[in-house]
Amino acid sequence: MTGILLSLILQAWTPCSGRASCLRYSEPDELETRGPSGIPVLMYHHVSDPVDGYYGVSTSRFRRDLEELDQAGFFLIVPEDIENGLMRVPPDRRPVLLTFDDGWQDNMSFTGIGDSFQLDPSCALAILDGYSSEHPEFGHGAVFFISWDKIPFGQEEFVTEKMNLLLDMGYVIGNHTDKHTDLTRLSMSLWRDAVIKPLQRFNRRLGLRTSQVRTLAYPGGRLPRDSGAEELLSRLDYMGRKAVAMGFLANGSISSFGPLLSSQEGWFRIGRLDMSRYSVSQVLQWSNIMVPEAREDLHDPLSMRIPCQDPFPSR
Ligand SMILES: [Zn+2]
């Protein structure tokens, strides 16, 4: 059974010209040589004028990134698309996942007071949503990772409205821990609190919709190696479900998803590119980036979901 599931994963993530050759298990080295398999996951922090801090980009730069990604044939996905074998991505488009870390107010800001408020047109969400509306071929979606060491998106009076509006608009909220402590510097005995406490706080704002908070971005972008970290994270649960379905690094790389998803650890080590350090043209030069011509097999129907929910089955 495991072999069948693995084959399905590899079918979904390993572009190849002949379907028959996909229907067998392949070693990671072989997968690497077949062709592009990586999905770029781009990481933003502040999006503002003037540029805020070391990790910030300007609003004009952000708009330009969206235009360049669209013109290069990318299509915005959300994490669920990765689990579903990218079935939503048009055949002539290639997937890209946008992520925003920390929950800064310039990511999602309201203007107005009381019941009379609206999305600030200069915030990252408004820019992104406006571009997507005008360019439906570009798709729609992004993940906003929130850490609870600050008021999410600023503006305490609007926190609940903002979080629910974000979900209403089809975007994804991710977990970025409670105190934004680098997990490589935090005793593993404290990881449960770091991951679960935020979910309890999300629950007070989102209620049952907290079940949609399933992804984790590691503060500082790192996860210790050879420490059992992935298994620990996979076993955390909250209200009867897995607390973390996938985890995102900030390691300056595009993960090759064939080999990545065929390993138990892969779901917890998805690479990201800090876009205050990289340009879209640099992203396009990545050797393992997925290209439209190479991925027609991704649209073959999958008979079952990719089993990321329990990558560490009980022994
Ligand atoms: Zn952060």
Ligand 1 centroid to Cα of residue 104, in Å, is 10
Instruction: Judge whether 9 lies within some domain.
Output: no
Give the pLDDT score at 3: 38
Instruction: Judge whether 270 lies within some domain.
Output: yes
Ligand 1 centroid to Cα of residue 130, in Å, is 25
Ligand 1 centroid to Cα of residue 176, in Å, is 7
Give the pLDDT score at 16: 30
Instruction: Judge whether 6 lies within some domain.
Output: no
Q: How far apart are the first and last CA of the chain?
A: 16
The two three-digit tokens of residue 45, written as one number: 């922090």
Look at the chain and report how many structural domains it folds into: 1
Give the pLDDT score at 260: 62
Give the pLDDT score at 307: 44
Ligand 1 centroid to Cα of residue 100, in Å, is 9
Ligand 1 centroid to Cα of residue 288, in Å, is 26
Tell me how crowded residue 194 is: count the other CB atoms within 10 A of its CB.
24
Instruction: Judge whether 213 lies within some domain.
Output: yes
55-113 per-position pLDDT tens digit:
999 999 999 999 999 999 999 999 999 888 888 999 889 999 999 999 999 999 999 87
Give the pLDDT score at 290: 79
Ligand 1 centroid to Cα of residue 180, in Å, is 6
Ligand 1 centroid to Cα of residue 257, in Å, is 24
Give the pLDDT score at 15: 31
Ligand 1 centroid to Cα of residue 101, in Å, is 5
Return d(Cα 154, Cα 164) in angstroms, integer.
15
Ligand 1 centroid to Cα of residue 154, in Å, is 15
The two three-digit tokens of residue 144, written as one number: 């906003």
Ligand 1 centroid to Cα of residue 151, in Å, is 13
Q: Which residues constitute the domain of residue 266?
A: 38-291
Ligand 1 centroid to Cα of residue 147, in Å, is 7
Instruction: Judge whether 13 lies within some domain.
Output: no
Give the pLDDT score at 21: 29
What long-range pairs does 274-280 form, CB within 8 A, spacing at least 24? Answer: 274/43, 274/55, 274/221, 274/250, 275/42, 275/43, 275/44, 275/57, 275/65, 276/44, 276/45, 276/54, 276/55, 276/56, 276/57, 277/252, 278/252, 280/64, 280/65, 280/68, 280/69, 280/72
Instruction: Judge whether 10 lies within some domain.
Output: no
**Going by C-beta distance under 8 Å and a sequence separation of 6 or more, which residues neighbour residue 162?**
108, 110, 152, 153, 155
Give the pLDDT score at 132: 98
Nearest to 45 by CA among 209, 221, 201: 221
Ligand 1 centroid to Cα of residue 220, in Å, is 6
Q: What is the CATH number of the domain that holds 195?
A: 3.20.20.370
Return d(Cα 152, Cα 172) in angstroms, integer.
14
pLDDT tens, residue order, the chain (315 aa): 333 333 333 333 333 332 222 223 334 444 444 567 889 999 999 999 999 988 999 999 999 999 999 999 999 999 999 888 888 999 889 999 999 999 999 999 999 876 788 999 999 999 999 999 999 999 999 999 999 999 999 999 999 999 999 999 999 999 999 999 999 999 999 999 999 999 999 999 999 999 999 999 999 999 999 899 999 999 999 999 999 999 999 999 998 777 667 777 889 999 999 999 999 999 999 888 877 665 555 554 443 344 444 545 554
Instruction: Judge whether 103 lies within some domain.
Output: yes
Ligand 1 centroid to Cα of residue 166, in Å, is 19
Ligand 1 centroid to Cα of residue 34, in Å, is 35
Tell me how crowded residue 275 is: count the other CB atoms within 10 A of its CB.
23
Ligand 1 centroid to Cα of residue 3, in Å, is 37
Instruction: Judge whether 29 lies within some domain.
Output: no
Ligand 1 centroid to Cα of residue 44, in Å, is 10
